RNA sequence: GUGGGCGUAGCUCAGUUGGUUAGAGCGCCAGGUUGUGGCCCUGGAGGUCGGGGGUUCAAGUCCCCUCGCUCACCCCA
C-alpha cells in the first residue's frame, strides 16, 4: 500500500490547487479595499485560548480539538476555529480600534470525515473589533454576500438571528428552561436531560419531537431587551437597504459561547451533501473580555473554502483554469539551446518549459503538446548550425517558421498574442475550459 | 464516538455456482514516421486482487479480524 495522507486530510494538486488559490485571491481583492488587513497567526495556540472562547461544553473543544502537551509540558491546541486566535492576537498587539482583519487559515478538528467535511479545512474570514454599531454587522454580512457574487454563486440563502446579550439572555434562558421542564417528556432522548446545560441546543435538534416542542417554545428574538431589539432591527434594515435577501430564523443557534446579538449563516442549495453551510458568523461582544481584555465589541465570520468550491461545482460556476505556458522548447541538438532559450524567455517574462533527458523529438513534441503551450520552439542540428529556432504554433493553425535566436522572444510574443485573441487563459468561461485545461505537469 | 456501503493495474471498472499464467478502457513508454504533437495502428511496462488469519485438493470469489475509503448521525465551514 502506498503512503496516504492522514484521515480527513487531502492533497490538492495542480490545477485544483490553483483554483483554490484563485478563490482566496478574489476574497483578498474584495476585502482589502474594504479596509481589512491580512492577519497571519499560528496554527496552534495555548489551549486555554480556545477553551475560554468557544466554551468547554462545546463539542469542538470537548471532543474534536487536537490538543497535546508539547515537550515543555505546555498545553497546546491546533486551531479549531479562527476567531479566538485573532482576538488573542489583538490583545497581544493592541492595534488601534476599530481594527478590521481578514485571514485565510487551515482549521483542524478531529471529526469523522464525510462529504464536504474534513479534519483539516480552510476558512476565509474577517473579524472587526471595537465597533458596536449594527451597521458593521451589516457590512460583514454584505462582504460574504458580495464574495459569493464575485464567484458567480446564486443558489444560497442567508438566515439571521439574535442571541441577545447579558441584559436579556439570562432572563430568557430561565423562561425556556422552565418551558422545556414543563414539556420534558416530549423532548427527544438526547435532550431530555441535556436541555438544562444548554437549552439553546434544543432549537438546533432535527428530531421531530424536539422540533414540535421548540416551535411552541418562547423565542429569544421575541424576548430581546430594548437595545438588542433595536440592534437587530437596524441589521435587518441595513441588509434590506443593500438588497441582501435574508430570513429571520429563531432557531439559528451558533455553537460557540462567544456569540452575542447578531448571528448568521449562509447555506448553499447546490451542495448535494448534508453539510451545506458555507459561512457562519456573528457578533461576539463578550469575547475580548473572556480572553482577559477590556470590554470590546466584535463581529466576524468564517467561510469554508472547500464547501464554497463544492457549491461552485454544484452551480457550474467559477470554472477557472491556470494560465497556459507560452512556449515549450524542444531541443534535439544536445540541449545547450534549450538551456539558453528557456532562460532567455523566462527573463523576458514568458512562461516556458522544456524537455530533459535528451528524449526523442516525438517524445518532446508530446510534452510540448501536453504542456498547453502556445508554441513549440524546435531546435535541431540544422537550426543549431544556423543559429535559428523553429517557431511552431501548437494551439492554432499556421506554419512553423525559422526565427533567429535573437528574435525568439518577439516571435513568441507575437504568436501568443495571435493565439489568445479569443479569450485569455484563466478567465471564467462556463461550459468550456480555457486553453491549457490539462495544465502543466 | 455510533451506523450503512465499498476496497481488483496510475485512473474508471469487469471478473460467471471458489477451478489453470487475473482482464478491458483510459493514461504511461516505445515503434509505425531516419527531425514534429494532437487522430489512427502495433507492441510494451505496470497488479503482495487493502492487510492478517481461517475453511478447502483449490480463494479475487466463502468466514473471522483488522486497516482504509465513503456516506449519514452528533457537531460544524
**CATH number for the domain that contains residue A390:** 3.40.50.800
Task: Give the structural domain span for A92.
Answer: 16-168+224-315
Sheet (strand A37-38) strand order: A37-38, A99-108, A120-129, A298-304, A277-283, A260-268, A156-162, A247-248
| Count: domains in chain A | 2
Residue A218 lies inside a defined structural domain of this protein: no
Residue among A159, A199, A101 nearest A281 (CA): A159
Residue A135 lies inside a defined structural domain of this protein: yes
Asked if strand B comes closer than 7 Å to A368 Cβ, the answer is yes
Kindly provide the ipTM of the predicted complex, given to two decimals: 0.87
Contacts 24+ apart (CB under 8 A), A33-37: A34/A100, A34/A139, A34/A143, A35/A100, A36/A100, A36/A101, A36/A102, A36/A126, A36/A128, A37/A100, A37/A101, A37/A102
Asked if strand B comes closer than 7 Å to A35 Cβ, the answer is no
CA of A266 to C1' of B14 (A): 44
Taking each continuous run of H as one helix and of E as one strand, the counts in chain A are: 16, 16
pLDDT at A425 over 70: no
A247 with A381, same domain?
no
Predicted pLDDT of residue A419 = 65
A137 with A264, same domain?
yes
pLDDT at A440 over 50: no
Residue A428 lies inside a defined structural domain of this protein: no
pLDDT one-digit tens code per residue, A82-95: 999 999 999 999 99
pLDDT level of residue A420 (50, 70, 90 thresholds): low
- The H or E element containing residue A366 is helix A361-371
The domain that holds A148 is classified in CATH as 3.30.930.10
Averaged pLDDT, A313-341: 93
As ranges, strand B nucleotides with an atom below 7 A of a protein CB are 1-3, 28-31, 33, 35-38, 48, 50-51, 68-77
A133 with A269, same domain?
yes
Q: Which of residues 204-263 of A touch strand B (CB under 7 A)?
A: 204-207, 253-256
A334 with A297, same domain?
no
Averaged pLDDT, A42-57: 89
Residue A130 lies inside a defined structural domain of this protein: yes
Asked if strand B comes closer than 7 Å to A58 Cβ, the answer is yes
A57 with A124, same domain?
yes
Residue A6 lies inside a defined structural domain of this protein: no
A254 with A368, same domain?
no
Distance CA A91, CA A120 (A): 26
Phi-psi region of A357 (alpha: psi -120 to 50; beta: other; left: phi over 0): left
Out of A5-19, A198-212, A419-433, pick the least confident: A419-433
A248 with A379, same domain?
no
Residue A60 lies inside a defined structural domain of this protein: yes
A384 with A257, same domain?
no
Specify the 3-state DSSP secondary structure of A324: coil
Residue A53 lies inside a defined structural domain of this protein: yes
A279 with A408, same domain?
no
Residue A219 lies inside a defined structural domain of this protein: no
Amino acid at each position: 500500500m502506498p503512503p496516504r495522507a492522514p484521515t480527513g486530510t487531502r492533497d490538492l494538486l495542480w490545477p485544483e490547487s490553483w483554483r483554490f488559490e484563485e478563490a482566496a485571491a478574489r476574497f483578498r481583492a474584495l476585502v482589502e479595499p474594504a479596509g481589512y488587513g491580512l492577519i497571519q497567526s499560528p496554527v496552534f495556540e495555548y489551549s486555554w485560548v480556545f477553551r475560554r472562547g468557544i466554551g468547554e461544553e462545546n463539542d469542538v473543544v470537548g471532543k474534536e480539538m487536537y490538543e497535546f502537551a508539547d515537550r515543555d509540558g505546555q498545553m497546546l491546541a491546533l486551531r479549531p476555529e479562527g476567531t479566538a486566535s485573532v482576538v488573542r492576537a489583538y490583545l497581544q498587539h493592541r492595534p488601534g480600534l476599530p481594527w478590521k482583519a481578514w485571514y485565510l487559515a487551515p482549521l483542524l478538528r478531529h471529526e469523522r470525515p464525510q462529504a464536504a467535511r474534513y479534519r483539516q479545512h480552510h476558512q476565509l474570514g474577517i473579524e472587526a473589533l471595537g465597533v458596536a454599531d449594527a451597521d458593521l454587522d451589516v457590512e460583514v454580512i454584505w462582504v460574504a454576500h458580495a464574495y459569493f457574487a464575485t464567484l458567480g454563486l446564486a443558489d444560497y440563502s442567508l438566515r439571521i438571528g439574535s442571541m441577545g446579550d447579558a441584559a436579556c439572555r439570562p432572563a430568557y434562558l430561565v423562561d425556556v428552561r422552565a418551558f422545556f421542564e414543563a414539556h420534558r417528556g416530549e423532548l427527544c432522548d438526547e435532550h431530555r436531560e441535556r436541555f438544562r446545560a444548554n437549552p439553546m441546543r434544543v432549537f438546533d435538534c432535527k428530531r421531530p419531537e424536539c422540533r414540535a416542542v421548540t416551535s411552541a417554545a418562547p423565542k429569544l428574538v421575541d424576548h430581546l431587551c430594548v437595545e438588542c431589539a433595536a440592534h437587530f432591527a437596524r441589521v435587518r434594515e441595513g441588509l434590506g437597504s443593500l438588497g441582501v435577501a435574508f430570513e429571520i430564523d429563531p432557531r439559528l443557534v451558533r455553537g460557540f459561547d462567544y456569540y452575542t446579538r447578531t448571528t448568521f449563516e449562509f447555506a448553499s442549495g447546490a451542495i448535494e451533501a448534508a453539510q451545506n453551510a458555507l459561512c457562519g458568523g456573528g457578533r461576539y461582544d463578550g469575547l475580548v473580555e473572556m480572553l482577559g481584555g477590556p470590554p470590546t465589541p466584535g463581529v466576524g465570520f468564517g467561510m469554508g473554502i472547500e464547501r464554497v468550491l463544492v457549491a461552485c461545482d454544484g452551480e457550474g460556476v467559477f470554472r477557472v483554469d491556470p494560465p497556459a505556458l507560452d512556449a515549450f522548447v524542444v531541443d534535439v541538438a544536445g540541449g545547450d539551446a534549450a538551456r539558453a532559450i528557456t532562460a532567455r524567455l523566462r527573463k523576458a517574462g514568458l512562461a516556458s518549459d522544456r524537455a530533459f533527458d535528451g528524449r526523442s523529438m516525438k517524445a518532446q513534441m508530446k510534452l510540448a503538446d501536453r504542456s498547453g503551450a502556445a508554441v513549440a520552439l524546435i531546435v535541431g542540428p540544422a537550426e543549431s548550425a544556423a543559429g535559428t529556432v523553429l517557431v511552431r504554433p501548437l494551439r492554432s493553425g499556421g506554419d512553423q517558421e525559422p526565427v533567429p535566436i535573437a528574435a525568439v522572444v518577439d516571435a513568441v510574443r507575437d504568436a501568443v498574442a495571435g493565439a489568445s485573441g479569443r479569450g485569455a487563459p484563466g478567465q471564467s468561461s462556463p461550459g468550456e475550459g480555457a486553453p491549457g485545461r490539462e495544465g502543466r505537469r
